[in-house]
Every structure is written in structure tokens, then in C-alpha cells.
């Protein structure tokens, strides 16, 4: 059951924040540059927490802070999001003393670009909102520090190529690492210090403590490129804390619908393992989507699992190739095979696919709270 949490802002304060953010949103690129410029100029000590080269992911801290606009009407998820963000930021060396500096620069940046929309009342609402967020993050980090480390070194114990630029990499953390199937983990490689990227764990917890990741090398991706093309058995990487609420315990129904595109199969695969670990007490329908047959990553493995488990059904669809079988974009296929209003739905893959699938499912009667996926602006991705 979700926690009962009091909203940190009144409806009027929330409207003020939304209005001011709508004014500055078209200037997001300029805002990001200005925010970091004044942060580093006023507080040069924080510069060392970031990578030497501020890559294109540098705006993610700012976007994570501004996500309060998305969650202001959902206090339970607001608290959950920022508590996770606070725990995750321990790996950067973030201290309670850093929060006033970030807040000061955030508000000054918004004031500069909001222009006349930045009234004393709006400034007060943003000050209150940031103060609440900072306290959530600080409190969560302090509680986390009392029970576990900020990061975990982990040795690569196995790797092989799955083709199409995807590598399967298995690591063994040096210390106990507790997580739930469906969660994702930040990874730092020794070749790109302070650059963290998030990857879903592709397995349910194992007795030997190992974790497997499916990593696709993306154009210009320093961390993904290093993991796919450079990492070898014996190399040591670092893991951040597990994150995400797309876990089996979030399901209230016995009937489950899993839908995955690309390496989005990784957390779905872990969830299927978790269903098996719990005795197959759920009925699972899995849909895999891709543009072409060659890109239907992991299909053969899923079909073999379906042959072993009576509770698992697997279907696949391609959108850009004429073949026998199901053809179409995954969101359209889900709508065609629905309705799914008696199912809990777990979606994983490209953000556009997940958003379209969520919309199609909702229009066809699936309750929004039954649709589970990671946030599109995953907490603090790649930047402290």
C-alpha cells in the first residue's frame, strides 16, 4: 500500500511553479549552461564532483530537480523519487552542505529566465518546494549511510557478445548487494571516472550474488562503448545503489502483461525469473517488439522459457519488415490484443515506446496505477 504523505505545496503554490516552468522550458539549453556556470563560479569546490568534460547528460541533475512539477500532485511518488535521488547521490560525495548552494543557483537561474513571471510569490513557492526536496534527499542519504556503502566495487566474471552491439556482462560485487528483480543500477567504469550510466539488471537475485547486465553500445556513448568493447573478465567497475519501483511486489493482479523493446528486455527477463522463483503463481503474457526480425533481441531465449513454463506466453512483433506473424508497432499490437484491464502491466524500452504503450493501454481501459515502468527522467542520470 502506498504511504499517506502530505503534499508539500498548496494547489496555488503548485500552479505558480507550473506557470513559471512553462515560461522557461523553451530556454532549457540556455538554462542548463547558466545554472552550471554560476554553480561552478560561486562554489568551485563542487566542480570536482563532475566529470572533467561536461557531456550532453549534464542537464540531468537540473531535470531531476525540476521533476517536482511532474510529481507535485502525487506526494507519495514525489517522496519516493527524491529519496531515491538522495540515496543515489551519495556515490558522488554529495553532502548536506551542498544543497543550499545548488538551491541558491537553481532559484537564481529560474529568476533570470522567468522574467516578469518570477514574482515574490513564485519565488516563495519555489523556495518552499526546493527546501522540501532537499530535506527528503538529505534524510534519505543519512539513513542510507547508516546501513550500507555508497558504492560497491564489482569484478567482471563473464562477458559475451549478443550481436547488434549488445554485450552481456556479469559482475560479482565484492560486498553483499541487495536489490529486487526489475530494478536498475548505475555503473562507473575505470576508463571514464565520475561518468555514471544506468542499466537494468537482467536477472533475479542469485545465490552467488552475481548480476548480469545487457549493454548496447550507443553512438558517442563513452560508458556503454567501454563496457561493450573494452571490459574484460577481471576488470573492476563500481555500482551505485539499486533504484526503481518496477518490481513484482508492485503488482496487485495475478495476471501480468510484460512488454519490452530492445534492451528493455533486461528487467523483464529478471521479472520472469522472479515469477519462477516464487513458484509461477502469476500468468504472464510477454510481448517483444522491434523494427526488424534481426533486432528481436532475446526472442529465442524467451521462447525456450515459455516451453518450460506453462504460465508464460510469448508473442513478438516487428514494425518495419514484411514477415509472417504479427506486424506493427508494439503499442498498437498491445491495443489489438487487449483489453488488459485485469492485468498489471510492466513496460520497458525506449521512452517513446513506453509513453505510446501507456497511452494506448490507458485508452483501452487499463487503470494508470496498474501500469509500471521506470521514470522517463531517471533520477540524476549521469550527473551528480
The predicted pLDDT at position 75 comes to 82
pLDDT at 285: 96
Residue 48 is part of a domain; what is its CATH number?
1.10.490.10
In our burial notation (b when 16+ CB lie closer than 10 A, e otherwise), range 332-351 reads: bbbbeebebeebbbbbbbee
Residues contacting 84, CB < 8 A, separation 6+: 140, 243, 244, 379
Q: Has residue 64 got a pLDDT over 70?
A: yes
Judge if 140 and 156 occupy the same domain: no
What's the whole-number average pLDDT of the chain? 88
Q: Which of 62-66, 75-79, 153-157, 378-382 has the lowest mean pLDDT?
A: 378-382
**End-of-domain residue from the set 115, 145, 175:** 145
Same domain, 322 and 345: yes
Q: State the pLDDT confidence band at 5, using cuts at 50, 70 and 90.
A: low
Residue 114 contacts residue 24 (beta carbons within 8 Å):
yes
Q: Are residues 129 and 205 both part of a single domain? A: no
Q: Encode the chain in three state secondary structure.
A: CCCCCCCCCCHHHHHHHHHHHHHHHHHHHHHHHHHHHHHHHHCHHHHHHCCCCCCHHHHHHHHHHHCHHHHCCCHHHHHHHHHHHHHHHHHHCCCCCHHHHHHHHHHHHHHHHHHHHCCHHHHHHHHHHHHHHHHHHHHHHHHHHCCCCCCEEEEEEEEEEEECCEEEEEEEECCCCCCCCCCEEEEECCCCCCCEEEEEECCCCCCCCCEEEEEECCCCCHHHHHHHHCCCCCCEEEECCCECCCCHHHCCCCEEEEEEEHHHHHHHHHHHHHHHHCCCCCEEEEEEEECCHHHCCCHHHHHHHHHHCCCEEEEEEECCCCCCCEECCHHHHHHHHCCCCCEEEEEECCHHHHHHHHHHHHHCCCCHHHEECCCCCCCCCCCC
Least Cα distance to 114 among 14, 18, 13 occurs for 18
Domain assignment of residue 362, yes or no: yes
**CA–CA dist 293, 129 (Å, integer):** 48
Same domain, yes or no: 21 and 141: yes
Express each pLDDT in 235-291 by its tens digit: 999 999 999 889 999 888 899 999 999 888 999 999 999 999 999 999 999 999 988
Please indicate, yes or no, if residue 202 is contained in any of the structural domains: yes
Residue 321 has pLDDT above 70, yes or no: yes
Give the pLDDT score at 290: 87
Considering only CA atoms, which of 326, 194, 263, 205 is closest in space to residue 334? Answer: 326
| pLDDT value of residue 56 | 54
**In terms of domains, do 70 and 125 share one?**
yes
Contact yes or no for 139/125 (Cβ under 8 A): no
pLDDT at residue 381 greater than cutoff 50: no
Are 165 and 117 in the same domain?
Answer: no
- Tell me: pLDDT of 378 over 60: no
Same domain, 119 and 102: yes
The mean per-residue pLDDT over the stretch 68-75 comes to 78
Is residue 349 in some structural domain?
yes
In-domain check, residue 1:
no
Same domain for 233 and 253? no
CATH number of domain containing 235: 2.40.30.10
Q: Is the pLDDT of residue 380 over 70?
A: no
State percent of the chain over pLDDT 90.
Answer: 59
224 and 253 together in one domain: no
pLDDT score of 379: 34
- Is the pLDDT at 1 greater than 60? The verdict is no
Residue 60 lies in a domain: yes
Tell me the CATH number at 342: 3.40.50.80
Q: Are residues 123 and 163 in the same domain?
A: no
Residues 171 and 187 sit within 8 Å (Cβ to Cβ): no
Q: Is residue 384 part of a domain?
A: no
State the pTM of this model: 0.85
Q: Which domain holds residue 164?
A: 152-239
Same structural domain for residues 73 and 55?
yes
Question: What angle do helix axes 98-114 and 11-24 make, rounded to 10 degrees?
Answer: 70
Share of the chain above pLDDT 70, in %: 93
Confidence of residue 27 (pLDDT cuts 50, 70, 90): confident
pLDDT, tens digit (0-9, with 9 covering 90-100), for 356-374: 999 999 998 999 989 999 8
Residue, of 7 and 185, whose pLDDT is higher? 185
Task: Give the model confidence (pLDDT) of 129-163 as tens digits.
Answer: 999 999 999 999 999 999 999 999 999 999 998 87
The whole-number pLDDT of residue 383 equals: 28
Question: Which of 91, 122, 145 finishes a domain?
Answer: 145
pLDDT at position 218: 86
For residue 335 the three cell numbers come to: 491495443
Quote the pLDDT of residue 21: 87
Q: For residue 94, tell me if it sits in a domain.
A: yes
φ, ψ for residue 360, nearest 5 deg: -65, -40
pLDDT of residue 28: 81
Lowest mean pLDDT among 74-78, 321-325, 330-334: 321-325
Distance CA 190, CA 8 (A): 40
Rounded to whole angstroms, the Cα distance separating 165 from 181 reads 24
Is 157 contained in some domain? yes
How far apart CA 236 and CA 231 sit, in angstroms, is 9
Pair 15, 141 in one domain: yes
Whether the per-residue pLDDT at 54 is higher than 80: the answer is no
**Overall domain count for the chain:** 3
**pLDDT interval class at 55 (50, 70, 90):** low
Reported as a pLDDT band with limits 50, 70 and 90, residue 377 is very low
Q: Which one of 112, 127, 145 terminates a domain? A: 145
Cα separation, 187 vs 195, in Å, equals 8
Q: What is the pLDDT at residue 302?
A: 94
Q: Which residue has the higher pLDDT, 383 or 157?
A: 157
Amino acid at each position: 500500500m502506498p504511504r499517506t504523505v502530505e503534499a508539500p505545496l498548496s494547489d496555488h503554490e503548485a500552479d505558480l511553479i507550473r506557470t513559471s516552468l512553462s515560461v522557461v522550458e523553451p530556454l532549457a539549453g540556455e538554462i542548463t549552461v547558466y545554472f552550471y556556470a554560476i554553480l561552478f563560479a560561486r562554489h568551485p569546490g563542487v566542480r570536482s564532483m563532475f566529470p572533467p568534460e561536461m557531456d550532453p547528460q549534464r542537464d540531468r541533475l537540473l531535470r531531476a530537480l525540476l521533476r517536482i512539477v511532474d510529481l507535485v500532485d502525487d506526494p507519495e511518488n514525489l517522496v519516493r523519487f527524491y529519496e531515491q535521488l538522495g540515496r543515489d547521490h551519495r556515490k558522488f560525495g554529495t553532502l548536506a552542505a551542498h544543497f543550499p548552494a545548488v538551491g541558491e543557483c537553481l532559484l537564481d537561474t529560474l529568476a533570470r529566465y522567468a522574467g516578469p513571471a518570477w514574482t515574490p510569490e513564485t519565488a516563495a513557492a519555489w523556495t518552499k518546494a526546493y527546501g522540501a526536496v532537499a530535506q527528503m534527499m538529505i534524510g534519505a542519504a543519512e539513513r542510507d549511510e547508516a546501513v550500507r556503502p555508497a558504492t560497491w566495487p564489482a569484478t567482471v566474471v563473464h562477458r559475451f557478445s549478443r550481436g547488434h552491439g549488445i554485450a552481456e556482462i556479469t559482475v560479482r560485487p565484492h560486498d553483499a548487494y541487495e536489490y529486487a528483480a526489475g530494478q536498475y543500477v548505475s555503473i562507473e567504469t575505470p576508463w571514464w571516472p565520475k561518468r555514471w550510466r544506468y542499466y537494468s539488471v537482467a536477472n533475479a537475485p542469485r545465490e552467488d550474488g552475481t548480476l548480469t547486465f545487457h549493454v548496447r553500445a550507443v553512438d558517442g556513448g563513452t560508458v556503454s562503448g567501454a563496457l561493450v568493447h573494452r571490459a574484460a573478465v577481471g576488470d573492476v567497475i563500481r555500482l551505485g545503489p539499486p533504484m526503481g519501483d518496477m518490481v513484482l511486489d508492485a503488482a496487485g493482479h495475478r495476471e501480468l502483461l510484460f512488454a519490452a523493446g530492445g534492451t528493455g528486455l533486461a528487467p523483464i527477463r529478471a521479472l520472469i525469473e522472479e515469477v519462477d522463483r516464487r513458484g509461477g503463481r502469476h500468468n504472464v503474457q510477454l510481448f517483444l517488439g522491434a523494427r526488424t526480425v534481426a533486432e528481436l533481441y532475446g526472442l529465442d531465449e524467451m521462447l525456450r522459457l515459455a516451453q518450460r513454463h506453462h504460465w508464460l506466453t510469448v508473442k513478438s512483433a516487428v514494425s518495419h519488415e514484411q514477415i509472417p506473424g504479427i506486424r506493427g508497432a508494439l503499442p498498437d499490437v498491445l491495443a489489438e490484443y487487449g483489453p488488459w484491464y485485469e492485468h498489471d502491466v510492466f513496460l520497458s524500452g525506449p521512452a517513446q515506446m513506453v509513453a505510446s504503450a501507456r497511452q494506448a493501454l490507458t485508452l483501452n481501459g487499463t487503470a494508470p496505477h496498474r501500469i509500471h515502468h521506470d521514470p522517463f527522467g531517471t533520477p540524476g542520470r549521469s550527473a551528480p
